[in-house]
Amino acid sequence: MAYRSIKTYGAERGLSCAYRQWAADSHCQLLHGYSLGFVFNFAAEQLDARGWVVDFGKGGFGAIREWLHHIFDHTLLVAADDPARAEFERLQRLGVAQVRIVPGVSAEALAGYVFEHAQALVDAATKGRCWVASVECREHGANAAVFENPNSVLRQVSAEALSLALKGL
């Protein structure tokens, strides 16, 4: 059985960025902005010495917070495969944008991207004791996407199967 801990890093934190869905057949192909929010679901089989899954201060979540601000605070996100990528990178050279090249700019892709980075940081901070079970990326109140850690899902299914087997079901 795993302990869970949730950290919400809401849109009010100021992670205001702009991007576009260049392949969309809608107005989403144009530059537009959001103040993104993220919800982190952490898990651990054992609590730390303070009784926590993860430290939400400098010792744990602080590195994630710093990375989030570097990537999403007053930045222009550009998908790695955007055909206009060179033009956006030119804006950075001109000093009019802080461009961040990311694998994709959908809420789903951003949830996965943030998960990958958060998992590496949490793994290092907790020496593998804690993991990121999921990351939710919120564009606004009506749009969100979740990336679930495949290993966490496997652990949960395995634990449930083991429990059923022990009960003889």
Helix or strand holding residue 93 (H, E): helix 85-93
pLDDT at 2 (0 to 100)? 82
Tokens of 5: 């801990």
How far apart are alpha carbons 26 and 5 in whole angstroms?
Answer: 38
Taking alpha carbons only, the member of 36, 47, 59, 37 closest to residue 122 is 59
Tokens of 117: 């980075």
**pTM for the whole structure:** 0.87
> Residue 159: pLDDT above 80?
no
Q: Which residue has the tokens 């205001």?
A: 16
pLDDT > 70 in the chain, percent: 89
pLDDT at 157 (0 to 100)? 46
Q: Which residue has the tokens 């083991």?
A: 162
pLDDT in tens, 133-151: 999 999 988 899 999 998 8
What integer is the mean pLDDT of 31-53? Answer: 94
Contact 98, 75 (CB under 8 A): yes
How far apart are alpha carbons 106 and 111 in whole angstroms?
Answer: 8
pLDDT at 1 (0 to 100)? 60
pLDDT in tens, 88-127: 999 999 999 999 999 999 999 999 999 999 999 999 999 9
In degrees rounded to 5, what are phi and psi of residue 23? -90, 0
> Residue 68: pLDDT above 80?
yes
pLDDT class of 168 with cuts at 50, 70, 90: low
Q: Looking at this protein, which amino acid is placed at residue 140?
A: H
3-166 fold: Tetrahydropterin Synthase; Chain A (3.30.479)
Contact 59, 18 (CB under 8 A): no
pLDDT class of 164 with cuts at 50, 70, 90: low
> Residue 87: pLDDT above 50?
yes
DSSP bridge pairs for 41 = 6, 134
Domain residue ranges in the chain: 3-166
pLDDT at 142 (0 to 100)? 86
What integer is the mean pLDDT of 47-72? Answer: 89
How far apart are alpha carbons 169 and 18 in whole angstroms?
Answer: 52
